Structure formats: structure tokens, C-alpha cells
């Protein structure tokens, strides 16, 4: 079986170096691209990862300006191959988000996993952003991404906003920081994680390994 060939999207949203370093520890090929490849060349890739930090509005603007928005929603979506959004990359899969938008409004997202991204309603005594290690609880312990991961294993989070999927079945795992919040989403071949697997040591490596084991149709 050939090794996975991973495209890491670099839309200027940061966190690229640590993701590439994590992929070097996996049995895969990985390439970083700043602009979309052609439809024909896209067939060379088996998996796509979208890392990111920053605001929802700035993230979507960066995807539009670089051409990645159309490529993700049209080319990669039609190929039905595995896609993983990390941190902001997960949130951008939503239908809309409020971070970075004008008051009482929202910004349209990729709308690949219907839902909305809003600010955490954390306890007033808890600091935002939420930074640190938190337990991960799976709704589907036997799911493809959760293989080999213990219930309640800690992952590393840095965020102030949370993804609220419209369909509860798209919420694969949750964590807690003054409130329960979505930690993993999934719909068809598109997945997202709110935490940073590339910074989550052994359990993060296990999750990346599970993602890379997903078949490319």
C-alpha cells in the first residue's frame, strides 16, 4: 500500500511549521502549498490538512484571496477524500462565524459541516482564550479518528470560540471549559479538531495516524 500524500494548505493562517514537523514523524509524504493546484494535479494527493489560528473573518478572507475557498468546496469536495481542519481550520468548516464580524452579524464559512461558531460562554472566573490540556470525550469511541485513543485523554487547546454543529451527529467529541464545547466534528470525508494534534504529544500523533489511515476514495 502506498504512503499517504498529504497537501497542507498554507493560506497565511499560521501554524504550518509545527504541522509539517508532526507529519515528518508519520509514514507519509507531505507538501505545503500557498495556492491551489490544478484539478488534475489534485488527484496526486490523498489527504488535505488546513491548519490555522486567528479570527474566523480573517481566515475566510484569506481562503478567498488565495483561491482555496473554491478549491476546497469544489475540487476537493467532489473528490470525496479525507480533509482535516485544525483549530481555526476546523471552525472555518462551519456555515458561519461571529469572530471578527461587525456587531450582531456573522461571516459566511465554508458550510461543509452546517453550524455556527460563537464565543465560548465560559465561567467569568475562567480566562479566555482557553489555553491548556483538557480531556477529550468521544460520542463514538469506535469511530475512525478515535482508534487507540483512551476515553478522557488530554489534548492541547488554544481557542476562545466554539463550533456548534446544527446536526448533533456531526459532533464526534467534546471537552469542557466552564461549558461543554465541541472538540471534534465530522461529516462524510471532512473532519475538524479544535485542539492541536501536532502539539498534543503521543495522543495527538495517534489521531494524526488515524486520519492518515482513512481511505482516499
The yes-or-no answer on residue 196 being catalytic is yes
The yes-or-no answer on residue 139 being catalytic is no
Q: How far apart, in whole angstroms, are the C-alpha atoms of residue 155 and residue 135?
A: 6
The yes-or-no answer on residue 198 being catalytic is yes
DSSP 57: H
Burial of 14 (0-12, 13-18, 19+ CB in 10 A): middle
**Cell representation of residue 148:** 487507540
The Cβ-side half-sphere exposure at 184, using a 13 Å CA radius, reads: 25
Task: Check 47, 69, 87, 96 and give the catalytic one.
Answer: 87
The H-assigned helical ranges of 28-132 are 39-42, 56-66, 68-70, 77-79, 88-91
Task: Check 69, 96, 99, 198 and give the catalytic one.
Answer: 198
Task: Check 130, 159, 170, 196 and give the catalytic one.
Answer: 196
Q: How far apart, in whole angstroms, are the C-alpha atoms of residue 120 and residue 81?
A: 31
Burial of 84 (0-12, 13-18, 19+ CB in 10 A): buried
Query: Which residues are part of the catalytic machinery?
Result: 87, 196, 198
Amino acid at each position: 500500500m502506498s504512503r499517504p500524500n498529504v497537501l497542507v494548505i498554507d493560506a497565511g493562517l499560521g501554524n504550518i511549521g509545527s504541522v509539517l514537523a508532526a507529519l515528518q514523524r508519520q509514514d507519509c509524504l507531505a507538501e505545503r502549498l500557498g495556492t491551489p493546484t490544478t484539478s488534475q494535479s489534485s488527484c496526486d494527493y490523498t489527504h488535505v490538512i488546513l491548519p490555522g489560528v486567528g479570527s474566523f473573518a480573517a481566515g475566510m478572507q484569506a481562503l478567498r484571496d488565495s483561491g482555496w475557498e473554491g478549491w476546497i468546496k469544489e475540487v476537493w469536495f467532489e473528490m470525496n477524500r479525507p480533509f482535516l481542519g485544525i483549530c481555526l481550520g476546523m471552525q472555518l468548516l462551519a456555515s458561519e462565524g461571529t469572530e471578527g464580524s461587525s456587531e450582531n452579524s456573522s461571516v459566511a464559512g465554508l458550510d461543509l459541516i452546517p453550524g455556527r461558531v460563537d464565543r465560548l460562554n465560559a465561567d467569568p472566573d475562567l480566562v479566555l482564550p482557553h489555553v491548556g490540556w483538557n480531556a477529550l470525550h468521544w460520542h463514538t469511541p469506535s469511530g475512525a479518528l478515535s482508534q487507540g485513543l483512551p476515553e478522557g485523554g488530554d489534548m492541547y487547546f488554544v481557542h476562545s470560540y466554539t463550533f456548534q454543529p446544527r446536526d448533533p451527529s456531526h459532533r464526534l467529541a467534546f471537552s469542557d471549559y466552564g461549558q461543554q464545547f465541541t472538540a471534534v466534528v465530522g461529516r462524510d470525508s471532512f473532519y475538524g479538531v479544535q485542539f492541536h494534534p501536532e502539539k498534543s504529544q503521543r495522543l495527538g500523533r495517534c489521531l494524526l495516524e488515524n486520519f492518515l489511515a482513512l481511505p482516499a476514495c
